[in-house]
Amino acid sequence: MFCVECGREGQIFRDGTCLSCYLKTHTFTKGPKIIELPNCPHCGSFKYKNTWLSEHFGDILRKLIKNNFQISKELENVDINSECREVKDGMSCKIYISGLIDSEKINEEHEILVRLERTVCDICSKRFGGYHEAIVQIRADHRKLTNNELKNIGTSIECLIEDLQAKGNRALFITDIAEEHGGLDFYISEKGAGLVIAKKIQEQYGGEIKQSSKNIGMKDGKQIYRMTYLIRLPSYEKGIFLKYNNSFYQIISFHGNKVKMIDLSKWNETTVDVKSIQKASTLGKEDLIKEMILISQKEDEVQVMDQKNYEIKVIRKPKPISFDSKTIKIVKLEDRLFLIPVV
């Protein structure tokens, strides 16, 4: 058979012409030159079919193509690729659509402008309006939070929020963080997340959670409550030395209402209620720890030298372990010397 257009002999595709002649006057894909796409300048999310999505531009573009382009049903094994570059008012994209017609590969190319309209999204406008359903207040009993606690708690809460956001919760955000009365206040957009955060902090730092709620009005015929979760951290912080029942301890960690401590004379770990150490006397923080030069050691004792005054001391080993470092860490509590537990 001969193609009526080019006269070449071969397979006739349609209307008496070969495929390559047919393609000169027909296309299998059709789409607009310009697509408008609302884009939040604050969080970067895109509004697709009335819903804000925090997805990559590439993923949104695929959705836009599928929704805005007409792709002939005759085209099989359709594959869409794109190449985009930023331009003044959006993204200029080359769209490559390929597929099979009668097992012949067809490639079609379109150039489109995805015009990004700067629009503040639903969530960001809530955030700028100061919206919050929960306040997580962190305070310490009879003291201010230490700088380390302020820093570490802030970081753990921010990480936790990022984790929850990464799991797809767009509506979750921190509206505000305030340092108040030696503690921290976190304003959180969702009640549920507020409680999750409060429990996490309690798990890591110990203490108690108290909840209270406040009616803040009506929404869709329902009463809206704002929750406050107050976490009161123990009066002691991690690392502190204390005397309890005539023994000397260092606090290792807190877990809810329990505190894990190590007995410095035996290097035994013990867990007790935070309440039970409320009356113990605190002897100081980790800055009491000194490094001394190890001179010699026996099975049950070490001989060390103070680097400042060259005094030699003998300290009993809590356990038959052997040290292979040049210096070892010592703490002096009420005139007694203890070796700092080696973990």
| Residues lying near Zn ion in the complex (CB under 5 A) | 3, 5-6, 18, 21, 40, 42-43, 121, 124
Count of beta carbons in the 10 Å neighbourhood of residue 31: 18
Assign 122 to helix, strand or coil. helix
Contacts of 26 (CB under 8 A, 6+ apart): none
As measured in angstroms, the least distance from the Cβ of 164 to Zn ion is 17
d(CA 315, CA 298): 10
User: Smaller CB distance to Zn ion: residue 15 or 301?
Assistant: 15
| HEC sequence for 186-218 | EEECCHHHHHHHHHHHHHHHCCEEEEEEEEEEE
Numbers of helices and strands, H then E, in the chain: 5, 23
d(CA 29, CA 305): 85
Please, what is the angle between helix 147-166 and helix 191-205, to 10°? 140
User: Smaller CB distance to Zn ion: residue 128 or 273?
Assistant: 128
As measured in angstroms, the least distance from the Cβ of 130 to Zn ion is 15
Going by C-alpha positions, the residue among 129, 218, 144 that lies closest to residue 184 is 144
Long-range interactions of 102-109: CB distance < 8 A, separation 24+: 102/13, 102/19, 104/13, 104/19, 106/23, 106/28, 106/75, 108/27, 108/28, 108/29
DSSP annotation of 150 reads H
User: Smaller CB distance to Zn ion: residue 102 or 180?
Assistant: 102
